[in-house]
């Protein structure tokens, strides 16, 4: 069992993250102090939550390019709502953000399911539409910190048992997804639909509906993160989380989620996101320029994909009967 873990992608990723931390610690030992690691985790939390949403979409052989635009639109809506009604309880804000995100994700899902438009085209379109909508409802203006109510801003930063609420929410989403993907029929359907859509149809699964649900769940997480993001940074504008969808997809790819669908684990994904999070937080500390940061993230993606391609190729088919029993 342990031997199998050592050979798995998760173990290799974990090793990569640890080596990265060790290298940074040589130059800057304070980086690996528990308090700082907690900060890094908190900083990576939005990426983890969004990447989990993207992961189930990719598992079903789709992709959601609109996930960051969805986040930004939901963040702007709750920011404007907060300005108009400063006394609204945070729970209402959470429901509005998550609900709106679900609807936006469901729109993607419906277009993919009912009109069978390729997901990359659908979400490229909705990405632009959602961003444009932010401009329309905000007239291009910023919602600044002083306009937001105190509880609205405090929610994501409140410390509970030593960690900010943002971190706790990320941990809760990770736990929920671990159960969803390994212990529920819906999770199984995500893998089956992406692994072989034809076989899934014959097994009685509704491929389009499963993809729709993946988009809707990803949308819900984007909406939720939209509020957390605006609350944490205490600002909302048209371009928040601009280009973040690419970080999210990068985390999925590094985490071993196959772009062709049907393969990937929650553990791998979290490590993929943490890998990016550590790079982003550590490199400035050790005085490496942001341009190198981009290059290193990019190299990590290429290496991860090359590695995935290699590991799936070397297996080959087992034709010899003796080899089959040994496998």
Partner 1 sequence: MSPLPKAAPLPPVLALDGVTKVFPGVRALSEVSLALYPGTVTALVGENGAGKSTVVKILTGIYQPDGGAIRVDGQPATFPTAQAAADAGITAIHQETVLFDELSVAENIYLGHAPRGRFGLIDTAAMHRKAAEILHSIEADIDPATPLRDLGIASKHLVAIARALSIDARVVIMDEPTAALSHKEITELYDLVDKLKQQGKAVLFISHKFDEIFRIADRYTVFRDGQFVGDGAIADVTQSQLVQMMVGRSVDHIFPARAKAPGAEVLRVVGYDHPTEFADIGFSLRRGEILGFYGLIGAGRSEFMQALFGITRPSKGAIRIDDKVRVIRSPADAVANGIVYVPEDRGKQGAITALPIFQNVTLPSLGKTSRSGFLRLAEEFKLARDYTARLDLRAASLDQPVGNLSGGNQQKVVIAKWLATQPKVIILDEPTKGIDIGSKAAVHEFMAELAAQGLAVIMVSSEIPEVLGMSDRVIVMREGRIVAEVSGDQMTPETLVRHAAGIGED
Q: Is 160 helix (H, G, I), strand (E, B) or coil?
A: strand
Nearest residue (CB) to partner 1, 2 versus 291: 2
- The answer to the question of residue 201 lying near partner 1 (CB under 8 A) is yes
Which segment (138-146, 194-202, 274-282, 297-305) binds partner 1 by CB under 8 A?
194-202
d(CA 28, CA 143): 37
CB of 12 to partner 1, least distance (A): 18
Q: Tell which positions 27-66 bind partner 1, by CB under 8 A.
A: none
Buried b (16+ CB within 10 A) or exposed e, 4-31: eeeebbbbbbbebbeebbeebeeeeeeb
Query: CA 265 to CA 52: how far, in whole Å?
Result: 10
Q: Which stretch binds partner 1 (CB under 8 A): 21-29, 33-41, 277-285, 310-318?
A: 310-318
Which residue number, 181 or 238, has a Cβ lying nearer to partner 1?
181
Q: In the window 252-271, what residues touch partner 1 (CB under 8 A)? A: 258, 262-263
Q: Report the alpha-carbon distance of residue 174 to residue 326 in Å, rounded.
A: 35
Q: Which stretch binds partner 1 (CB under 8 A): 17-25, 202-210, 213-221, 239-247?
A: 202-210
Cα–Cα dist 98/204, whole Å: 31
Cα(298)–Cα(59) distance, integer angstroms:
22
Does residue number 137 form part of the binding site for partner 1 (CB under 8 A)? Answer: no
Q: Is 307 in the site for partner 1 (CB under 8 A)?
A: no
Q: Is 160 in the site for partner 1 (CB under 8 A)?
A: no
Cβ atoms of 172 and 221 within 8 Å: the answer is no
Closer CB to partner 1, residue 48 or residue 58? 58
Name residue, tokens 């900010």.
Answer: 164
Q: Tell me whether residue 267 or residue 277 sits nearer to partner 1 (CB atom).
A: 267
Contact assessment for residue 156 and residue 165, using Cβ atoms and an 8 Å cutoff: yes
Q: Does 313 bind partner 1 (CB under 8 A)?
A: no
Q: Please choose, from the candidates 185, 217, 215, the residue with its C-alpha nearest in 3D space to the C-alpha of residue 200.
A: 185
192 binds partner 1 (CB under 8 A): yes
Binding of partner 1 by 7 (CB under 8 A): no
Please tell me whether residue 202 binds partner 1 under the rule CB under 8 A. Answer: yes
Answer yes or no whether residue 319 interacts with partner 1 by CB under 8 A: yes
Three-state SS at 7: helix
User: CB–CB of 60/190 below 8 Å?
Assistant: yes
Instruction: Pick from 195, 233, 235, 301 the residue near partner 1 by CB under 8 A.
Output: 195
Residues 204-263, interacting with partner 1 (CB under 8 A): 204-206, 258, 262-263
Q: Which helix (H) or strand (E) holds 245?
A: helix 244-254
When the beta carbons of 40 and 59 are compared against partner 1, the nearer one is 59
SS (H, E, C) 266-322: HHHHHHHHHHHHHHHHHHHHCCCCHHHHHHHHHHHHHHHHHHHHHHHHHCCCCCCHH
CB of 196 to partner 1, least distance (A): 4
Q: How far is the CB of 320 from partner 1 (least distance, A)?
A: 6
- Asked if 320 is part of the footprint of partner 1 (rule: CB under 8 A), the reply reads yes
Q: How far apart (Å, rounded) are the C-alpha atoms in residues 82 and 65?
A: 27
315 binds partner 1 (CB under 8 A): yes
Residues near partner 1 (CB under 8 A), total: 33
- Residues at the site binding partner 1, with contacts judged by CB under 8 A: 182-186, 188, 191-192, 195-196, 198-206, 258, 262-263, 315, 317-321, 323-327
């Amino acid at each position: 069992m342990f031997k199998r873990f050592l050979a798995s992608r998760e173990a290799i990723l974990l090793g990569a993250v640890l080596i990265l931390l060790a290298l940074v610690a040589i130059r800057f030992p304070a980086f690996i102090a528990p308090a700082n690691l907690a900060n890094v985790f908190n900083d990576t939390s939005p990426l983890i939550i969004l990447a989990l949403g993207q992961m189930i979409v990719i598992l079903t052989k789709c992709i959601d390019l609109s996930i960051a635009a969805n986040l930004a639109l939901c963040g702007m809506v709750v920011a404007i709502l907060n300005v108009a009604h400063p006394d609204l309880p945070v729970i209402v804000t959470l429901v509005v953000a998550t609900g709106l995100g679900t609807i936006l994700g469901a729109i993607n899902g419906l277009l993919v399911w009912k009109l069978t438009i390729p997901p990359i085209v659908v979400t490229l379109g909705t990405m632009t539409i959602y961003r444009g909508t932010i401009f329309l409802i905000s007239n291009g203006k910023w919602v600044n910190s002083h306009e937001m109510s105190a509880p609205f801003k405090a929610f994501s930063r409140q410390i509970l048992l030593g960690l900010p609420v943002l971190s706790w929410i990320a941990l809760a989403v990770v736990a929920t997804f671990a159960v969803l993907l390994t212990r529920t029929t819906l999770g199984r359907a995500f893998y089956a639909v992406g692994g072989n859509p034809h076989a899934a149809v014959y097994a009685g699964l509704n491929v389009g509906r499963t993809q729709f649900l993946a988009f809707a769940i990803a949308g819900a997480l984007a909406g939720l993160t939209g509020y957390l993001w605006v609350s944490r940074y205490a600002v909302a504008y048209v371009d928040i989380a601009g280009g973040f969808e690419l970080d999210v997809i990068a985390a999925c790819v590094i985490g071993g989620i196959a772009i062709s669908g049907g393969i990937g684990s929650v553990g791998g994904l979290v490590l993929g996101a943490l890998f990016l999070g550590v790079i982003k937080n550590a490199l400035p500390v050790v005085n490496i320029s942001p341009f190198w940061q981009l290059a290193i993230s990019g190299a990590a993606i290429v290496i991860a994909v090359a590695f995935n391609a290699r590991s799936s190729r070397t297996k080959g088919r087992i034709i010899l009967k003796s080899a089959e029993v040994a496998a």
